[in-house]
Structure 1
Amino acid sequence: MTVRRSTDDLADHRSRVRGSLLGGALGDALGAPVEFDSITDIRGRYGFAGVTGLVPDHRGRIGLVTDDTQMTLFTVEGLIRGGDVPAVRHAYLRWLDTQRYPAPQRDRPHGTGRLREQGWLYARRAPGNACLSGLAYGPAAPAPFGEPGPVNPGSKGCGTVMRSAPFGYGAPDARHAFELAARCAQITHGHPTGYLAAGAFAAMIHLVLAGEPLAQAVRGAAELLTDYPSHEETSLALRAAVRLAAQGDPSPERVESLGGAWVAEEALAIAVYCALAHPWPGELRQALLLAVNHSGDSDSTGAVCGNLLGALHGQRALPADWLTDLEGRETITEIADDFAAWTAGEPPMNDSWAERYPLD
């Protein structure tokens, strides 16, 4: 997964990887306090515009992320520490420890490393049932594309999409990003729509990082998607998102016409719609707010939209006032920089790197 880059290219790539990881975390933190709330309840609490920035959760804390950001960071770690399905699964098992224990534990299986030592990650923030049960299932070979996988074969929850942006950061091409994301999605979700939607999202991320305009990246990923059996649900959802964005006048009601985002294709479609509705760097704030103000899985749609637009525009487009209150911001930034260096073949191969990312 090494792509040699010039100094300028590496700086731009680093900014985009930072933008994607931090943007996803911002969308996650924006949406988390209103996840499960109807748009009527959201407007009743915050006014007709809904949430207009980071708001306190039920604990009174601002800027907390959920399992969406947690699992995305462990995806990064799994890619650095091996880059294949077993390495990513081991990383997700390290994430599972953060859901089972209140603090880092000694002598746990599935490897050491810096990420599992981050105390702030040891917080259970409504993790998806399929993610939890799928990791308890045990290792299994991915099914051929288009067929149900062996783990949770009927599940197509959005837990596949919300963690899959990193597969697009350093892949040699969009198809590689697609297929690795889809195989790794099968670690927990076996429904073809669930894992193909994850693949399509990773391909979009790769294409915007390669310099494609957003609309062209969405189209390219959608075209790639049709090469795989059982793509129809995801393809229909993406076409609906593109058509809706072309109509203008974005609103929560239009968002909700695409579904509730509890399943993978709807979460991807809503995030893509919100990004296409506000595609410019100066509109990233509006895009994320559109992505979270609806009666559905607000943190996941916010996270996926933030991953996509952050990769497109880079860190400088992110609202600085929101970043100030973001949980784990320093760790997320460091991991983004490590991953950018690793994908470019420039990591410092020293004792410190080996301690942070021991090979699985």
Structure 2
Amino acid sequence: MWGRTEQQDFRSRVRGCLLGGAIGDALGAGVEFDSLSAIRQTHGAAGVTDYVPAYGRRGAITDDTQMTLFSADGLIRAHVRRDTGAWHPPTDVHAAYLRWAATQRDWGPDERKEEDGWLAREEWLYARRAPGNACLGGLADERMGTLENPKNPDSKGCGTVMRSAPFGLLVGWEPQLVFQLSVECAAQTHGHPTGYLAAGAFSAIIHSLARKDSLDNAVQKALVQLSTRPGHEETSDALKRALGAMRQGMPSAERVESLGEGWTAEEALSIGVYCALVAEDVRHGLLLAVNHGGDSDSTGSVCGNLLGTIHGETALPPAWVAELEGRATILELADDFSMEMTQGPALHAPGAASPAWLARYPRA
């Protein structure tokens, strides 16, 4: 049973995770394809210190946040559908990703059916924000990639890691099951072992943090899980480099760049973890995570997910929260996720259910 204090703490961490990731994403969106020298030339020696315009506004999110929201939506739907006797979360997450893919090709939500749920009808999500080719290609048809037969078997892009924080928020699950589910869902678009194992490691780290573990311990536990998986070496080495960089002196953009550029899954994970490890506070960590010549929005997103889970929503810089695109939707989904995980039986059961909840998260 969840006590009130535990429920409130968990909700704050879920809100922090989703909002923090979105803020990091938005901070990096305007400089995603710029070199470090170009960032400093345009924004000064300190680089980006606030939102810069991207996609026509300040605080704009990208495909990283879009897909993270649909990950959370799919996990809620999986728990709701369990009442029917159907229990295969990868299928429900895949269906959610197909709904995201529809937002990338359709003009708006007019074609969405009631069984698509409320998130798929949010008009602001119908926007292309530099989605990855592997994500689009992996979801171009309805066949679900699996570990035995993955989509894009040679791809290890960061499109797996940047969407996988919600798996770690399944705090009632055992760590091994969280890791496995995240890996299976990553293989739906990226079939290279590094692509899906980095996602599993990231989800496992978030899971430990949501259970109030320290980040250093969370990384060590993820390394133990990784060690049993074939093809883990790149991901394990990337996490070890993040731990090593933390001990090499004062954090800097150059030290971040020594870990890679963030375009691949293991590099995005390494940079995000390093910046969260050395962060003096949320603001410092997020700015460190986006001021480099690489995939700034994805590394910012990963770092924001981590710091938001550790510290909760109230630690996020309020001015950034206030200007964030889609804040109301993100908060609504975070609170729904928290309710489902802590009070699901009161919302739905095989014999009775809240009609409003099933309208939001249909069993179909």
Given the two structures, how large is their TM-score scaled by the length of structure 2? Answer: 0.93
What are the within-5 Å matches in structure 2 for residues 96-135 of structure 1?
96-106=101-111, 111-135=115-139
Letter in 2 for 1:234: T
Residue 216 (structure 1) aligns with: 217
Structure 1 residue 137: Cα displacement: 4.3
What are the within-5 Å matches in structure 2 for residues 236-251 of structure 1?
236-251=237-252
CA distance in 2, matches of 1:287, 1:228: 30
Residue 307 (structure 1) aligns with: 305
- Confirm whether residue 150 of structure 1 aligns to residue 150 of structure 2: yes
Structure with greater helix percent: 2
Q: Secondary structure at the match of 2:30?
A: helix
Structure 1 residue 140: Cα displacement: 3.7
- Confirm whether residue 51 of structure 1 aligns to residue 52 of structure 2: no
- Pick from 28, 31, 56 the counterpart of residue 28 of structure 2: 31
Q: Deviations over 1:73-105 (max 9, x none)?
A: 000110011151111011011101111122113
Q: Secondary structure at the match of 2:182?
A: helix
- Confirm whether residue 316 of structure 1 aligns to residue 317 of structure 2: no
Letter in 2 for 1:167: F
What are the within-5 Å matches in structure 2 for residues 180-219 of structure 1?
180-219=181-220
Letter in 2 for 1:34: V
- Pick from 77, 85, 88 the counterpart of residue 90 of structure 2: 85
Given the two structures, how large is their TM-score scaled by the length of structure 1? Answer: 0.94
Structure 1 residue 68: Cα displacement: 0.3
In the alignment of these two chains, the number of paired residues is 348
Q: Is the 8 A contact 2:117 2:362 kept in 1?
A: yes
Percent identical pairs in the alignment equals 55
What are the within-5 Å matches in structure 2 for residues 8-23 of structure 1?
8-23=5-20
Structure 1 residue 290: Cα displacement: 0.3
- Confirm whether residue 164 of structure 1 aligns to residue 164 of structure 2: yes
Q: Is the 8 A contact 1:252 1:290 kept in 2?
A: yes
Q: Deviations over 1:229-255 (max 9, x none)?
A: 110000001000100011231111111
CA distance in 2, matches of 1:160, 1:140: 15
Q: Secondary structure at the match of 1:306?
A: helix
Q: Is the 8 A contact 1:36 1:297 kept in 2?
A: yes
Letter in 1 for 2:123: G
Q: Is the 8 A contact 1:39 1:293 kept in 2?
A: yes
CA distance in 2, matches of 1:210, 1:359: 29
Q: Secondary structure at the match of 2:111?
A: coil
CA distance in 1, matches of 2:244, 2:331: 35
Please, which runs of 5 or more residues in structure 2 have no aligned partner?
Answer: 80-88, 349-353
CA distance in 1, matches of 2:90, 2:129: 25
Letter in 1 for 2:175: A
CA distance in 1, matches of 2:18, 2:237: 27
Q: Secondary structure at the match of 1:345?
A: helix
Letter in 1 for 2:187: Q
Counterparts in 2 of 1:194 and 1:314: CA distance versus 1, 3 Å: same
CA distance in 1, matches of 2:147, 2:272: 27
Runs of 4+ aligned structure 1 residues displaced above 4 Å come to: none
Q: Is the 8 A contact 1:137 1:151 kept in 2?
A: no
Q: Is the 8 A contact 1:67 1:126 kept in 2?
A: yes
- Confirm whether residue 298 of structure 1 aligns to residue 299 of structure 2: no
- Confirm whether residue 7 of structure 1 aligns to residue 12 of structure 2: no
Structure 1 residue 202: Cα displacement: 0.3
Q: Is the 8 A contact 1:197 1:264 kept in 2?
A: yes
Q: Secondary structure at the match of 2:343?
A: coil
Q: Secondary structure at the match of 2:99?
A: helix
Please, which runs of 5 or more residues in structure 1 have no aligned partner?
Answer: none
Q: Secondary structure at the match of 1:189?
A: coil
Residue 348 (structure 1) aligns with: 347
CA distance in 1, matches of 2:245, 2:145: 38
What are the within-5 Å matches in structure 2 for residues 228-239 of structure 1?
228-239=229-240
CA distance in 1, matches of 2:199, 2:217: 18
CA distance in 2, matches of 1:64, 1:106: 25
Q: Secondary structure at the match of 1:136?
A: coil
Q: Is the 8 A contact 2:156 2:194 kept in 1?
A: yes
How large is the RMSD of aligned CA atoms in angstroms? 1.4
- Confirm whether residue 258 of structure 1 aligns to residue 262 of structure 2: no
Q: Secondary structure at the match of 1:34?
A: coil
Structure 1 residue 141: Cα displacement: 5.5
- Confirm whether residue 68 of structure 1 aligns to residue 64 of structure 2: yes
Letter in 2 for 1:208: L
